[in-house]
Structure 1
Amino acid sequence: MVTASIIVGSLLIVLMTGMPVAFALIGLSVILLWQLLGPTALFMLVSASFNQARTEVFIAIPLFVLMASVLQFSGIATSLYNTMRMWTGRLKGGLAIATIIISAILGALSGIGATATVTMGLIALPEMLNKKYNKHLVVGAITAGGALGPLIPPSNLMIIVGGYASLSVGKLFMGGVVPGVLCAVFYSLYIWVRCKTHPEDGPPLPEEEIATLAEKLKALRQVFLPFLLILAVLGGIYGGITTPTEAAGFGAIGAIIIAGIYRQLTFGNLYGALKVSFKVTSMIMWLVIGGGCYSTLVTTTGTAAVVSGFLADIPFGAPGAITVMLLIVLVMGMFIDPVAISMICIPVFLPVLNTFSIDPLWFMLLFTLATCIGYITPPFGLNIFYMKGVVPNDISLGDIYKGVIPYCWVKIAVLILCVLFPSLLTFLPNLMD
């Protein structure tokens, strides 16, 4: 118990210093294993690092990131937004609803929380502010919409969760479809109801800016190929034709071809996409290696068993344990990166799932949804700070906090629905059996 307290307490202290999570996990693992088990124990960290880096499913991460980066630099996001703007312009709050829809599509193209937030912050934010939309509604919609990326397949977070929990990434992808769509629909309903009751928060477009049916249909041609790519990638995984890694490779090649068709495959765009891919992949893989080291530490020292035993003794059996584990994830999401949460929690939670015979696929989908809430949870949700980086100076961090809180409650409501009705998460994955 003393050892477990030292390991857990040390991690919390180091994280509060602001040290990068990956290096905090690696550094603590080295120091504590040396002190507790001696220098020879460090060989276990070397082995764990190589094992994590060589995990086949993680090869999909740089390929999906490359796919997203190429599409981002090809101007696809602007075309998508302009198209959705035409179709939702008559609605109260239509531009904000269009932003949610595009964020969901960009999430399906990228799997990363930052992509849609930054992109929509640059494209949609200025227009909505010019159209006199409520600033809290606007920044909340863009921040929350971006957080759909890690939930809607293909998701890099799900690849990491699947790799650590030894689950089928394809099934995790399919399980993320329903909660991702539910979040997008409930976000849009919230915006529509709010703007219906408070029309000044999101006025419809002026009549002279409303597109004709012919213009709307013509605009759909600009988004046909990206939609086709999404369907091909997910359809290949769902149909058992490709593995997630093979689908990621197909998606990356498809994105390059689409950029060429749209005449956006320039040297500058390709260089920018590759640069972003290298940076994001390096960050994720350092976290993966750090998680492997920390997992070795908590397993070999018995910390995982102690914490798992504590969770298993919580009153009300499996429902009580599930509630506490999800609360832990939600609280951690207020302060640290969702990928880091996965590294820290999964080795501890898995024995609890085995103790109560809880379906690991269902719980890990709940876990993923809960960690995605962390992207928009004050005070340190990652998307909040991405949003702060693109908003005008007159919009404060407090404005973003105020704007994003209603969307946090919407996402928590979806989480509760998925706890009460497990088939929402398991229906599509079970069809793959």
Structure 2
Amino acid sequence: MRKEIWFGLSILVAIVITMFVFLPAPAEMTSGHVGLLMLGLVVVAIMLGFPTAFTLMGMGVMFAWYAFHSRDPGQAVQMTLDLMVQRAYSVMANDVLISIPLFIFMGYLVERANLIERLFKSLHIAMARVPGSLAVATIITCAIFATATGIVGAVVTLMGLLALPAMLKAGYSTQLSAGAITAGGCLGILIPPSVLLIVYGATAGVSVVKLYAGALFPGIMLAGMYVIYVLLVAKFKPSAAPPLSAEERRVELPTFVHALPASSSTTAVARLARALTAPRIAGAPNRTLLSQLFIALLPALAFAVVMGIGYRAVTAPAPAPTEMVEMGTEATLGGDQGGLAEPPAEGQLAEPPVEGQLAEPPVEGQLAEPPVEGQPAEPPAPAATAPPAPAAATATTTAQPATAAPTSYWITLGIGLAAMAVFYLFFTFARLEIFKMLMGSLFPLAFMILAVLGSIVFGLATPTEAAAMGALGGIILAIAYRRFNYGMLKESAHLTAKTTAMVCWLFVGSSIFSAAFALLGGQELINGWVLGMDLTPVQFMILAQVIIFLLGWPLEWTEIIVIFMPIFVPLLPHFNIDPLFFGLLVAMNLQTAFLSPPVAMSAFYLKGVAPPHVTLNQIFLGMLPFMAIQVVGIVLLYMFPAIGLWLPEVLYK
């Protein structure tokens, strides 16, 4: 047996002995204390490097057998095996988890379509005049790519290969460069479609759709705070993020631009329009000019389409009322307030009420039925004229007029037109080339992201259906960029299977472990201990987040979710805490699992692709300011819950 295994087992034995020394005496020790012992052993075993899923599964099976054996020794083995099968089947039958392999497959396809390199270069050039442009472009690229993939390791690794050498060559400090890459890459934990949110939703029983809607604005807020920090560093400490030189900001123009005649206007639209009206220019055919003019006018066309759709939406006539009117109103009470009577139609005889029973009036041309013996005959009822039809019934016959557009629409239109005018006033051929680069890298990816997330958030598709469409979109993007082949598909499917199997076994192990922990009474013991502290909701929330923050140092987010969320979630109803809001705080907090030493997986991902002179300590120092920003973001989200809860309340109230 290897020395590492002997070392790990010896540590576990030492921990068992230590916990038995500090736990109550055997006479006072309950099965709940054994559950706490199991929890401590699992945490230490994971820290020693034992596989998380199989550690949870093995510990759960052993301690479940102990719990069953203490109650019924004869059935302990059978009941333990039944528990394993039932828990494994419940995980496999969970429909929410189907979206995990599809989202992961989409991420690997987008990663291998080489989109991140195109995206970083286009954003880098587009933001060349912004202070700290390389770091800002890195964070925005990480945020967009993390939204498309949700795979932290892939984003940090690729940006370490692309952005880190560029930033170091431009004179950026190693700490700021490493911090921007690692912090930006970790945004995939929070920004949808995050696998963490799916795992938390399946563990805590919270709607994944609401989690996605709630996590959108906190993720954008956190990325914005990162960008603001970089801008402040570049402004007040230029040596850490020096501006780019004029040569690095220069954009190569296509050859047809040099063939255009000189003009007093420098705008691309004006020069293209003038060239089309002039005689044919050598080197600049009309087809090229028309295509370039169409591309240049795309922002204006998109603005016109959006405002046109908005105008139709705000001026649409109010829905016409139906012919059905509310029962019990005066319009439907045919003069008798004690019951409902249908008003007689014009030209027909009204049915008279008969005392004691309903009598049918005689039909014209027939003999009336003789009255019942002992009952006086009723005189024939005179013809009744129909009352005027109620307004609600006749409203459907007339078309509803269109409503006038509100003032806010015209204000928005005016601001948009002014912005378009300013945009085209400074829209040179250099900016046209940058716009074309963004169209080839940012817009296809953004369209796919909006299609996937929009269909989920607005209820057009379930997460599983949207994930399937996202995987198809990843294949289409890879084909469009000529990166799709059998080898790429095979590698993406293989990595997806590996990652999905890891998550699946984590869920199975977590389910068995949670069942054993509940059987031993560990959950009841912790509940009694927490409730006995008589905490307020604020104090409990602070205590829970501090524990999660500290757990993020030695453990990864997967272990924290599957092990500790089943302990925290049952306590939330007692403190009137929304599990959705708690999940958003946990998701933002769990990014510390990738930014906190000594584990800090993103630091090791970056170190694996960084130049040799970049040390691990420099990477850790660069991550610390961004960790502080995360803490500020958690405080802001807690103080202003509407940041995360406004969108779910608007969409799903």
> What TM-score comes out, normalization by structure 1 length?
0.97
Pairing 1:196–2:235 present = yes
Give the equivalent residue in structure 1 for 2:33: 2
Q: How far apart are the structure 1 equivalents of 2:111 and 2:99?
A: 18
Give the equivalent residue in structure 2 for 1:252: 471
Q: How far apart are the structure 1 equivalents of 2:499 and 2:638?
A: 32
| Higher mean C-alpha deviation, range 156-165 or range 108-117 | 108-117
Structure 1 residues without counterparts, runs of 5 or longer:
none
Deviation track 1:89-112 (CA, whole Å, cap 9, x = no partner) reads 222211011010011011110122
Structure (1/2) with the larger helix percentage? 1
Residues 116-131 of structure 1 correspond to what in structure 2 (within 5 A)?
116-131=155-170
Are the counterparts in 2 of residues 106 and 115 from structure 1 also a CA contact under 8 Å? Answer: no
Change over 3 Å in CA distance of 1:432–1:313 after alignment to 2: farther
2:537 to 308, 314, 318: 318
Residues 389-400 of structure 1 correspond to what in structure 2 (within 5 A)?
389-400=608-619
Pairing 1:359–2:565 present = no
Give the equivalent residue in structure 1 for 2:153: 114
Residues 16-415 of structure 1 correspond to what in structure 2 (within 5 A)?
16-37=47-68, 38-39=76-77, 40-210=79-249, 211=251, 212-222=430-440, 223-415=442-634
Q: How far apart are the structure 2 equivalents of 1:146 and 1:217?
A: 25
Structure having the higher Rg: 2
Give 1:28 shift. 0.7
Q: How far apart are the structure 2 equivalents of 1:430 and 1:365?
A: 14
Give 1:375 shift. 1.4
Are the counterparts in 2 of residues 93 and 192 from structure 1 also a CA contact under 8 Å? Answer: yes
Give 1:308 shift. 2.5
Deviation track 1:294-340 (CA, whole Å, cap 9, x = no partner) reads 11122222211221332233354111111111111111111111011
Secondary structure (helix, strand or coil) at the match of 2:590 reads helix
Are the counterparts in 2 of residues 67 and 252 from structure 1 also a CA contact under 8 Å? Answer: yes
Give 1:269 shift. 2.0
Structure 2 residues without counterparts, runs of 5 or longer:
1-31, 69-75, 252-429
Q: CA RMSD in A?
A: 1.3
Q: How far apart are the structure 1 equivalents of 2:531 and 2:583?
A: 17
Give 1:262 shift. 1.5
Question: What is the count of residue pairs matched by the alignment?
Answer: 433
| Higher mean C-alpha deviation, range 54-63 or range 207-216 | 207-216
The amino acid that maps onto 2:242 is: P
Secondary structure (helix, strand or coil) at the match of 2:189 reads coil
Q: How far apart are the structure 2 equivalents of 1:183 and 1:202?
A: 21
Secondary structure (helix, strand or coil) at the match of 2:243 reads coil
Q: How far apart are the structure 2 equivalents of 1:431 and 1:301?
A: 42
Are the counterparts in 1 of residues 607 and 615 from structure 2 also a CA contact under 8 Å? Answer: yes
Are the counterparts in 1 of residues 61 and 513 from structure 2 also a CA contact under 8 Å? Answer: no
Give 1:81 shift. 0.5
Deviation track 1:172-226 (CA, whole Å, cap 9, x = no partner) reads 0111111111111111111111111111111122112214312211111112111
> What TM-score comes out, normalization by structure 2 length?
0.65
Deviation track 1:102-152 (CA, whole Å, cap 9, x = no partner) reads 110111101222121111011111111111110011011111111100100
Q: How far apart are the structure 2 equivalents of 1:198 and 1:417?
A: 27
Are the counterparts in 1 of residues 553 and 599 from structure 2 also a CA contact under 8 Å? Answer: yes
Are the counterparts in 2 of residues 373 and 412 from structure 1 also a CA contact under 8 Å? Answer: no
Give 1:254 shift. 0.9
